[in-house]
């Protein structure tokens, strides 16, 4: 399974290295945005799409690390995402109004 997420350089500026790393036989990337939101992007044996080498994304509260169920992007996690789909959702999260 391949765990490198390919997104544009500008989004990598928001990658939180302290919260990114191996998780449960897979890998997690944590993006922290200035608006108070974050994104957890994971791939592994227990994720939606992991068996197909695809990503799962969740919109998170960056300060509490809780899942956000009330954004216009989604009310749950998003699974079966390609790198380009993840990048699109990351930009949407970046564009949310500040918490």
pLDDT tens by residue, 17-66: 999 999 999 999 999 999 999 999 999 999 999 999 999 999 999 999 99
**pLDDT tens per residue across span 70-84:** 999 999 999 999 999
Q: Output the pLDDT for position 95.
A: 98
The alpha carbon of residue 46 and the mean position of all alpha carbons in its chain are separated, in whole angstroms, by: 15
The pLDDT value given to residue 2: 82
pLDDT-derived band at 1, boundaries 50, 70, 90: confident
Q: Residue 45's beta-bridge partner residues?
A: none
Confidence of residue 93 (pLDDT cuts 50, 70, 90): very high
Rg (CA), the chain: 12
Distance CA 95, CA 75 (A): 17
The residues spanned by each domain of the chain are 9-94
Q: Is the pLDDT of residue 15 over 80?
A: yes
């Amino acid at each position: 399974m391949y765990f490198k997420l390919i997104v544009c350089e500008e989004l990598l500026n928001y990658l939180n290295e302290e919260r990114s790393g191996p998780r449960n036989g897979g890998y997690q990337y944590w993006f922290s945005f200035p608006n108070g939101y974050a994104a957890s992007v994971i791939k592994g044996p227990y994720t939606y799409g992991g068996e197909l080498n695809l990503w799962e994304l969740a919109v998170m509260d960056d300060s509490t690390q809780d899942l956000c169920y009330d954004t216009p992007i989604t009310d749950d996690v998003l699974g079966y995402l390609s790198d380009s789909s993840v990048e699109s959702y990351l930009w949407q999260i970046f564009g949310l109004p500040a918490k």
